[in-house]
Structure 1
Amino acid sequence: MSVFYRDMWHCLILDAPIETYAAGRAARAAMTALPMPGPHRFLADPFGLWEQEKLYVFAENYDYLTRKGVIDVFIYDRTFNLLEKRLVLSQPWHLSYPYVFRHEGEIYLLPEAFKSGKLTLYRAEQFPFIWKEVPQFVFPIAAIDATPLFHAGKWWLFWTPPLPAPARQSVLQISVAPTLCGPWNNLGELYRDRAGARPGGTPWQKGENIILPVQDCTLTYGGGLRFLEIGHFDAPKPQVLSSSSLLPPPADMKRAYPDGLHTLAGAGKVTLIDLKKRQFNLTHHLRRLGKRVF
């Protein structure tokens, strides 16, 4: 029965740029796995950047026992040796999708936290360990997997609505603002397709257009990735020009984690991904049942 299975994700660093991987030309790229977080836990949604010759990878650390995610950072040197791992952001609510980026000399973090009822932007007060909320950033909806992009002289935000629940896997919305802190104008629905609408990583530029990774949830949540090519950013509302085919996981990881791939994030000359397997775990569900009974 599916009730006795749970999703387990595993994060990897691929020594190839995101455009190379997306084009299927990184089959032989060296891979470095982030360490496993322990029993009943997984790491997912890796995003990163380089700072002073070190790679900082931020990821969701999810605990099935508390049913809540926190944000961890993993610090690597140039040869991908792990130097340090630490919890950097925890709230009473679930956190995931820690989109990290630079803007005007500052480093920002925009995690998914829709159960808090809002979308919160954080600025690094002491990178990468101390983050402070940016009160000037006001977004009217608790957007899911919000993906910011500065392009064509404006800030754009790709996101999925929290309600109704089915829209979380099938609807892509777009908003625009003159500055990072707004004011944000929602342009409405950009794309609707369970096979590829929910954001799934960092966009990149292709000529005047943008390529946005999105999740394929046709068979299961985070079952794979597709790419949307988005153009006409000078029009009242951009348009999706094409949707590419499903991106499979690396061949040598497919056997161990065959059930999903839902994040593709570029960080300089490397790419960060996560892979999924469905794991049978009767003990976990009996523990949850016991809590409900007693």
Structure 2
Amino acid sequence: MARAASPLRIALVAAPGWRLSGWQAHLVAVMAADPRFRLTGRLQPSVTEAAPRPALPLRAVLAAERRMVERRFGVVDTAAAQRIVDGLPLIEAGADGPDVALSLDTGRLDFATRAALPHGEITIRADGHPPGCGFTRMARADRARDLVTVEIVQQGATPPRIILSTRFNPKPTSALTAEFVAEAAAVPLCKALAHLGEAGPHVGPAPVAGVPGVVTLPGYLGSIGRTIVQRLAGAILHRSGLSQDHWELVAGTGDPDAFEPAQGRPLPRLAFLMADPFLFHHAGRDFLFYEAMDRRDTIARIDVAELKDGVLRPLGTALGCDTHLSFPHVFRDGDCVYMIPETQSNRRLEVWRAVDFPLKWELHATAFEGCHLADSFLLRHGGHWWLFTNLSEHRRFQEHSIALHLFSCDGPSLANLRPHPMNPVVIGSDTARNAGAAVRSGGRLFRPAQDNRRNVYGYGLNIMEIEELTPDTYRERLHRRYRPGSLPGWRRLHHATFDKGIFVVDRSPA
């Protein structure tokens, strides 16, 4: 169950004169604006942990990267958050004191002070270090493109324990990764704070990334150089109309609990890019809706074709706008057929209704005005309508792959939207983002999810089994993971759709 209505009283562990960095200011602002929390004061740290310090050449590279980040995003304005911190009184732990202490710096409380707090002291770690340290990716040169582990750690009268652990997809450079991870850490931190005291599984610590030495610098710079060359080459080829980086569709037979993408056959190429497929059975026919782009297009449309005996018969464009469209979730409610395309360029969620299926649609409902949402679908389950959506609430990175939000509503009209008390119900770049709509098979409920890692979008595909979905609870587990390394000729795959023993996935061929 969610916490009681009274806000959690939080004290910041802060020495006199503490000046906020950009990511610290972001976290303070997020918590100050959240009605579940109340910042009540500052606690004086008793000890200071030594900050890890990489070799001088690596510090120079990191400083140069940070200047580039500032030129790209601008310098973070910390003034408002700094005023919040400066206005907090210096307090002591006790009967009328805070519920928990939060340390965002290297200062730590002593044992007696931690033990006097109902929930002790909370800290954040990214691969074992403070989120903003910046060199995590340098220290992982051999696995720099995998995932960064973020942990929320609680310590009171007992030894430290990890109360929430998740993993984020790194960015191309250490400074960008540090900025992104520090900003994204607000998501697991707020969830952990909102559910303090609730029983949960013990999570073991992640391996601590070592402090990098000079020997790691050539490999690190080489990986950045390769990334730059690949992206420049891709941009040049795209502008010249010669790009080979595309998505195509593969179809086969199988259900979500047991299917083999490698046994499918590529469908005919009806557009240069074909991605985000959705099967829909209607009037005895199988229709396939998908994101489509021609070679020189800059935005995508939604096309539809009929799938029969492994052959696609193009029917035309189902929906086209002057903004990018993708992820066309098509579903039925009674006699009406609806579509929820991804319309994050419009900064809202849109539901369209078919007036002449499958080629004519009208706007039926909108919600979340001003918000960035991706890959949304509606599911009817347990007597409720559920909206699954990847909602981005970040300051600098509009990243949709780290959190899955769940809302109940009254159906396709999106009336009476109510957030699930466990939101975000899934956190992590390797499982959070939807890769298709949930589907029932053999009395079980499955959710396709993207596996984003190694600084790659759409690296792999997961099939998650939803084990519990109620107004108060959500639980899922990994059923199976598909990665391109086990699929010869595949470079990426990131979406799957199922209907009546047929599957269609999208892939980027090697």
How high is the TM-score relative to the length of structure 2?
A: 0.48
| 1:166–1:129 Cα change, 3 Å | closer
Matched, 1:200 2:428: no
Q: Out of 445, 468, 490, which is 1:210 matched to?
A: 445
Structure of greater relative contact order (alpha carbons < 8 Å, 6+ residues apart): 1
* 8 Å Cα contact 1:27/1:250 also seen in 2: no
Other-structure match for 2:458: 222
Partners of 2:343 and 2:311 in 1: how far apart? Answer: 31
2:462 partner letter: R
| 1:245–1:134 Cα change, 3 Å | same
Q: Out of 243, 251, 265, which is 1:31 matched to?
A: 265
User: Which SS does the other structure have where 1:243 is aligned?
Assistant: strand
Note the 1:139-288 alignment, pairs <5 A: 139-140=368-369, 141-164=371-394, 165=397, 167-181=399-413, 182-187=415-420, 188-205=423-440, 210-219=445-454, 220-236=456-472, 238-248=473-483, 254-256=487-489, 258-277=490-509
Other-structure match for 2:255: 17
Q: Out of 111, 135, 138, which is 2:367 matched to?
A: 138
**Per-residue CA distance 1:9-54 (angstroms, 9 max, x = gap):** 1112213333331xx5x765x53513241xxx31100001122332
* 8 Å Cα contact 2:436/2:448 also seen in 1: yes
Other-structure match for 1:70: 301
**Per-residue CA distance 1:130-172 (angstroms, 9 max, x = gap):** 011103x534544200021110011111111234236312111
Partners of 2:253 and 2:441 in 1: how far apart? Answer: 21
Partners of 1:150 and 1:34 in 2: how far apart? Answer: 33
Partners of 2:252 and 2:484 in 1: how far apart? Answer: 11
The answer to which of 260-269 and 156-165 deviates more is: 156-165
Partners of 1:207 and 1:17 in 2: how far apart? Answer: 9
Q: Out of 317, 338, 344, which is 1:108 matched to?
A: 338
| 1:234–1:172 Cα change, 3 Å | closer
User: Which SS does the other structure have where 2:348 is aligned?
Assistant: coil
| 1:52–1:207 Cα change, 3 Å | closer
* 8 Å Cα contact 2:301/2:320 also seen in 1: yes
* 8 Å Cα contact 2:268/2:311 also seen in 1: no
Q: Give 1:179 shift.
A: 2.8
Name the structure where helix makes up a greater proportion of residues: 2
Partners of 2:335 and 2:288 in 1: how far apart? Answer: 19
1:138 partner letter: A
Identical counterparts, % of pairs: 22
User: Which SS does the other structure have where 1:201 is aligned?
Assistant: coil
* 8 Å Cα contact 1:15/1:31 also seen in 2: no
How high is the TM-score relative to the length of structure 1?
A: 0.81
Matched, 1:45 2:281: no
* 8 Å Cα contact 1:209/1:232 also seen in 2: no
* 8 Å Cα contact 1:228/1:240 also seen in 2: no
Q: Give 1:76 shift.
A: 2.7
Q: Runs of 5+ in structure 1 lacking a partner?
A: 279-294
Partners of 1:98 and 1:139 in 2: how far apart? Answer: 18
Matched, 1:2 2:230: yes
Matched, 1:61 2:61: no
Q: Out of 96, 103, 127, which is 2:326 matched to?
A: 96
The answer to which of 226-235 and 46-55 deviates more is: 226-235
Partners of 2:250 and 2:458 in 1: how far apart? Answer: 16
| 1:241–1:44 Cα change, 3 Å | closer
Partners of 2:441 and 2:400 in 1: how far apart? Answer: 27
| 1:95–1:27 Cα change, 3 Å | closer
Name the structure where strand makes up a greater proportion of residues: 1
Q: Give 1:88 shift.
A: 1.6
User: Which SS does the other structure have where 2:345 is aligned?
Assistant: helix
Q: Runs of 5+ in structure 2 lacking a partner?
A: 1-228, 235-242
Quick check: which has more Rg, 1 or 2? 2
Other-structure match for 1:284: none
Partners of 1:44 and 1:113 in 2: how far apart? Answer: 15
Other-structure match for 1:289: none
Partners of 2:442 and 2:307 in 1: how far apart? Answer: 32
Partners of 1:33 and 1:206 in 2: how far apart? Answer: 24
| 1:171–1:33 Cα change, 3 Å | same
For the aligned residue pairs, the C-alpha RMSD in angstroms reads 2.5
User: Which SS does the other structure have where 2:453 is aligned?
Assistant: coil
